[in-house]
């Protein structure tokens, strides 16, 4: 097992991406109180859980967070161990490529060999031991060359909401450092497929879900940006230079001026897809299986299944009445998820509903339709109801 | 048109029965805040609406209310025109026979010819002009002999939740005083039928719903109690004698001691059924059609239809988002009734639901099952949650 604290092995710097809003968790999630700062499944918020599972692998001083000005204060309060200066607030949302690259350009000048890990802030992972094992293997693999490591989740259904990765050659510890884990080269990245293609992917056994978690050295990532995003690289270098001077006021104004000039693009589109187009041997992209009970908690429905700790089929039989001091009376009802606080919830003759109540809003939908909650947020925006989004 | 203020025609004394709890309107209705004191369909509460529609027909000083100690204060506040002494609080719930009879024995000694009208406190009636006409005709008919007048609602469906009245001979204004209204003798009263019998009743055209509204003189009612409830009559005479002495403290203690000894029985079972068993000619029971857009608002589902002002079939297409400052966003949803206060309600892909939210409870059921809301109250009672019922 390789160490990742930088003392006896490569230094590891996790970058937590926390700029999203999670509109599918409305009415609990709001712009200034987004999904990642909510305690959806217990006492710790999603971003706190993200930090918690990284702390066995990295010093808190090496953890970075990229978020926005609506969320940075609450995130700083929630992640007390992380230095305030490591919490960067994007002056404008520019998707994941500039956010990931920013960290690379900040670290490259002084510690180019540090392995940057990109971690979304709103995932749940049940098997911490396996997570540790996979990340340590990934760090070692990323440190063994100009390699890019992506974590892929073995698909359990023909999901159309995720990107897929087509897998190539299978390698093992005799050829690359990967612990005892199976590792495969990446053939290509695929955008969210339609249902028919998703079914083909899953049936073939050669496709895996793109988890959005990546590992690569600061140098490798910075160079990849220089190669694939030649307009973005100098902008980020300028920002990094200002950051190094540590003159906070000057940095902030330059950051606010320059960062919005970056292309609004995901790291997948900006780097991984063009890189994988070089072919599986030349691209040097490797995939490790993220088989640590991962769930991206994308909708109320997946939260229902996560809390009930069961499959979608089983969840259709289980009622979850969630929220502080929530009690329930169930009469001929099953498969419902209800969130309310300090209330007695009575379900009579209803199935597969999702009902979420906050002091100013009440969402009523179904397990099947809960993904369309984001449409409610769109409608509220169209009506100018910024108090509710 | 006969006057009913007692100056130029028979005096009319409406008795509003307001002792019920309306558990099917939980969580809005509670023991101490029952259905009849709720403003379910506008600004006026059900019992205020009941008083409002009687005031064109009777002086407020002639209106009586029979309720209980949990509700009497709020009713007194809501019915300011009604003298406080006319609001009687039963020491124990004894169903409708003792409540109706109490008024008769109170009035009989001094004004035996006054026509007592029995009115439930939780009905809605849309056609006030027709209501006036029917009540005036009924008062005249009841005043023309030892006659009992019942108001029957023409059935619109094979409802199993109501009692039915089998109708006999048709009479008109040439034989009995009934304005221009059709009047029929009553053959018999029938308990709540099963579905098959209800369908037969409706198909036959000879059955009508028992509205629970009756008109008869104080003497006729008191004598009917003496005849059919020989044990109850002396108890109520004793209470009426104490009331006449007007020594409030003494009356209260005697009322509390004696009233609970009365049989717990409805006026239908106690008087109307045995009386009708004498045959339609001898019973002297007459039925007037209560064709004044009557609705007993028995369930959230019937409230939905009432507020949407449409049939059950039409209501299955109409969303009602009810409550103060409630706004709504509707996406692919129809036929839902939601009550919430000061909230934005979002419906996404749901149909025919009933959702009612209060500060301490949240009911989620369907239009089809909302009648089973009373089961929730039973369960709360079983759990000792008297704070919620």
Q: Who among A342, A355, A369 is closest to B364 (CB)?
A: A355
- For residues A159 and A235, membership in a common domain is answered with yes
With residue B158 as reference, give the H or E element that holds it. none
Nearest residue in chain A measured CA to CA from B355: A364
- For residues B153 and B45, membership in a common domain is answered with yes
Residue A7 domain flag: no
- For residues A262 and A312, membership in a common domain is answered with no
The per-residue pLDDT for A245 is 78
pLDDT tier at A45, thresholds 50, 70, 90: very high
Residue B3 domain flag: no
Residue B4 domain flag: no
State yes or no: pLDDT of A2 exceeds 70.
Answer: no
Residues 6 or more apart in contact with residue B216 via CB below 8 angstroms: B115, B116, B142, B147, B148, B149, B224
% helix, strand, coil for chain B, step of 5: 35, 25, 40
Alpha carbon of A100 to those of A117, A198, A340, B238: distances in Å? 9, 28, 37, 89
State yes or no: pLDDT of A326 exceeds 50.
Answer: yes
**H-state helical runs in B11-95:** 46-54, 72-78
Q: Who among B329, B336, B364 is closest to A347 (CB)?
A: B364
What are the tokens at A63? 């953890």
Rounded-to-integer distance, Cα A335 and Cα A167, Å: 36
Chain B residues whose beta carbon lies within 8 Å of the beta carbon of residue A353: 350, 353, 364
**Residue in A57, A89, A215, A83 with CA at minimum distance from that of residue A151:** A215
Residue B111 domain flag: yes
CB B66 within 8 A of CB B15: yes
Task: State whether residue B253 sits within 8 Å of chain A by CB.
Answer: no
Long-range contacts of A81-90 (CB under 8 A, 24+ apart): A81/A51, A81/A55, A82/A51, A86/A61, A88/A64, A90/A19, A90/A66, A90/A259
Nearest residue in chain A measured CA to CA from B24: A348
**Residue in A120, A195, A126, A202 with CA at minimum distance from that of residue A161:** A195
Q: Who among B343, B360, B369 is closest to A361 (CB)?
A: B343
Phi, psi at residue A384, to the nearest 5°? 75, 20
Torsional sign, CA A92, A98, A99, A102: negative
Better-predicted residue by pLDDT, B105 or A21: B105
Contact B342 A360 (CB under 8 A): yes
CB B272 within 8 A of CB B104: no
Residue B71 domain flag: yes
- For residues A39 and A148, membership in a common domain is answered with yes
Residue B124 domain flag: yes
Phi, psi at residue A63, to the nearest 5°? -90, 130
The per-residue pLDDT for A187 is 96
Q: The CATH number of the domain where B253 resides is what? A: 3.90.550.10
Chain B residues whose beta carbon lies within 8 Å of the beta carbon of residue A365: 346-350
Q: Which of helix, strand or coil describes residue A177?
A: coil
What are the tokens at A104? 């690379």
Q: At what angle do helices B96-107 and B232-245 cross, to 10 degrees?
A: 50
Rounded-to-integer distance, Cα B285 and Cα B276, Å: 7
Chain B residues whose beta carbon lies within 8 Å of the beta carbon of residue A362: 338, 340, 343-346, 355, 357
Rounded-to-integer distance, Cα B259 and Cα B239, Å: 8
Nearest residue in chain B measured CA to CA from A353: B350
- For residues A17 and A100, membership in a common domain is answered with yes
Residues 6 or more apart in contact with residue B319 via CB below 8 angstroms: B328, B330, B333, B334, B335, B336, B337, B338, B347
Chain A residues whose beta carbon lies within 8 Å of the beta carbon of residue B333: 364
Residue A1 domain flag: no
Chain centre distance of CA B245: 30
Mind listing the pLDDT tens digit for each residue in B9-27? Answer: 789 999 999 998 879 999 9
CB atoms within 10 A of CB B204: 10
- Domain tally for chain A? 2
Among the candidates A295, A319, A348, a domain finishes at A295
The per-residue pLDDT for A1 is 40
Contact A376 B342 (CB under 8 A): no
Q: Who among A333, A355, A362 is closest to B343 (CB)?
A: A362
State yes or no: pLDDT of B382 exceeds 90.
Answer: yes
Task: State whether residue B218 sits within 8 Å of chain A by CB.
Answer: no
Mind listing the pLDDT tens digit for each residue in B338-365? Answer: 999 999 999 999 999 999 999 999 999 9
Q: In this structure, what is the dihedral angle of CA atoms A203, A207, A208, A214, given to the nearest 10 degrees?
A: 180
Better-predicted residue by pLDDT, B135 or A192: B135
Nearest residue in chain A measured CA to CA from B353: A350
CA atoms within 13 A on the CB side of A96: 20
State yes or no: pLDDT of B4 exceeds 60.
Answer: no
In Å, how far is A363's CA from the nearest CA of chain B? 5
Average pLDDT of every residue of chain B: 94
DSSP label at B269? I
Rounded-to-integer distance, Cα B286 and Cα B153, Å: 13
- For residues A71 and A181, membership in a common domain is answered with yes
pTM recorded for the entire structure = 0.89
Among the candidates B268, B295, B322, a domain finishes at B295
**H-state helical runs in A108-148:** 128-143
Which percentage of chain A shows pLDDT scores above 90?
86
Among the candidates A251, A272, A295, a domain finishes at A295
**Cis ω on the peptide bond leading into residue B27 (within 30° of 0)?**
yes
In Å, how far is B187's CA from the nearest CA of chain A? 39
- For residues A188 and A309, membership in a common domain is answered with no
Task: State whether residue B385 sits within 8 Å of chain A by CB.
Answer: yes
Task: State whether residue B82 sits within 8 Å of chain A by CB.
Answer: no
Mean pLDDT in residue range B86-105? 96
The per-residue pLDDT for A314 is 95
- For residues B245 and B308, membership in a common domain is answered with no
Q: Which of helix, strand or coil describes residue A61?
A: helix
Mean pLDDT in residue range B249-266? 93
Rounded-to-integer distance, Cα A124 and Cα A211, Å: 12
Task: State whether residue B378 sits within 8 Å of chain A by CB.
Answer: no
- For residues A179 and A250, membership in a common domain is answered with yes
- The secondary structure of A228-289 as a DSSP string is H-TTHHHHHHHHHHHHHHT-HHHHHHHHHHHGGGS----HIIIIIHHHHTT-HHHH-EEEEE
pLDDT tier at A246, thresholds 50, 70, 90: low
Most B-contacting residue of A30, A341, A343, A348 (CB-CB within 10 A), to test interface: A348
CB B216 within 8 A of CB B84: no
Mind listing the pLDDT tens digit for each residue in A124-166? Answer: 999 999 999 999 999 999 999 999 999 999 998 898 889 999 9
What are the tokens at B130? 């027709």
Domain range holding A309? 300-388
In Å, how far is A386's CA from the nearest CA of chain B? 13
Q: Number of CB pairs < 8 Å for A and B?
A: 131
Nearest residue in chain A measured CA to CA from B372: A348
**H-state helical runs in chain B:** 46-54, 72-78, 96-107, 128-142, 195-204, 218-228, 232-245, 248-258, 267, 273-276, 300-308, 312-315, 373-382
The per-residue pLDDT for B137 is 95
Most B-contacting residue of A30, A338, A346 (CB-CB within 10 A), to test interface: A346
Residue B199 domain flag: yes
Q: Which stretches does DSSP call E strand in chain A?
A: 12-17, 64-68, 87-90, 115-120, 124-125, 148-153, 164-171, 183-190, 207-217, 285-289, 294-295, 320-322, 327-331, 337-339, 344-348, 353-358, 361-366
Q: Who among B331, B350, B373 is closest to A348 (CB)?
A: B373
Task: State whether residue A378 sits within 8 Å of chain B by CB.
Answer: no
Mean pLDDT in residue range B115-137? 95
pLDDT tier at A64, thresholds 50, 70, 90: very high
Mean pLDDT in residue range B234-252? 86
- For residues B110 and B143, membership in a common domain is answered with yes
- For residues B46 and B114, membership in a common domain is answered with yes
DSSP label at A68? E
CB B137 within 8 A of CB B178: yes
The per-residue pLDDT for B26 is 97
Q: Who among B349, B365, B368 is closest to A365 (CB)?
A: B349
Most A-contacting residue of B344, B351, B357 (CB-CB within 10 A), to test interface: B344
Mind listing the pLDDT tens digit for each residue in B161-205? Answer: 899 999 999 998 888 888 889 999 999 999 899 999 999 999 999
DSSP label at B268? I
- For residues A143 and A22, membership in a common domain is answered with yes
């Amino acid at each position: 097992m390789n160490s990742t604290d930088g003392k006896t092995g490569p230094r590891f710097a996790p970058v937590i991406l926390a700029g999203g809003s999670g509109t599918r968790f409305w009415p609990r999630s709001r712009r200034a109180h987004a999904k990642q700062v909510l305690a959806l499944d217990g006492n710790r918020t999603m971003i706190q859980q993200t930090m918690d599972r990284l702390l066995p692998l990295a010093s808190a001083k090496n953890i970075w967070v990229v978020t926005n000005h609506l969320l940075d204060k609450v995130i700083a309060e929630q992640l007390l161990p992380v230095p305030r200066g490591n919490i960067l607030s994007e002056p404008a949302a520019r998707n994941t490529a500039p956010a990931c690259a920013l960290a690379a350009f900040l670290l490259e000048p002084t510690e180019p060999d540090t392995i940057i890990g990109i971690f979304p802030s709103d995932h749940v992972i049940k098997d911490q031991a396996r997570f540790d094992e996979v990340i340590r293997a990934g760090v070692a693999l990323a440190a063994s060359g100009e390699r890019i490591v992506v974590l892929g989740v073995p698909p359990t259904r023909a999901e159309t909401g995720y990107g897929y990765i087509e897998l190539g050659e299978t390698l093992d510890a005799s050829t690359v450092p990967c612990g005892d884990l199976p590792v495969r080269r990446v053939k290509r990245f695929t955008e969210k497929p339609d249902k028919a293609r998703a079914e083909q992917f899953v049936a073939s056994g050669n496709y895996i879900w793109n988890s959005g978690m990546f590992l690569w050295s600061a140098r490798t990532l910075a160079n990849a940006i220089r190669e694939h995003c030649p307009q973005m690289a100098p902008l980020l270098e300028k920002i990094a230079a200002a950051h190094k001077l540590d003159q906070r006021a000057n940095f902030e104004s330059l950051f606010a001026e320059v960062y919005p000039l970056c292309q609004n693009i995901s790291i997948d589109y900006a780097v991984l897809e063009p890189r994988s187009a070089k072919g599986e041997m030349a691209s040097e992209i490797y995939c490790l299986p993220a088989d640590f009970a991962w769930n991206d908690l994308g909708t109320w429905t997946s939260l229902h299944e996560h809390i009930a700790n069961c499959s979608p089929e089983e969840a259709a039989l289980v009622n979850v009445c969630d929220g502080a001091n929530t009690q329930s009376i169930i009469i001929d009802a099953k498969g419902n998820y209800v969130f309310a606080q300090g209330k007695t919830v009575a379900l009579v003759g209803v199935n597969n509903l999702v009902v979420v109540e906050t002091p100013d809003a009440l969402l009523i939908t179904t397990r099947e339709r809960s993904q369309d909650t984001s449409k409610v947020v769109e409608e509220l925006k169209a009506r100018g109801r910024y108090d509710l989004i």
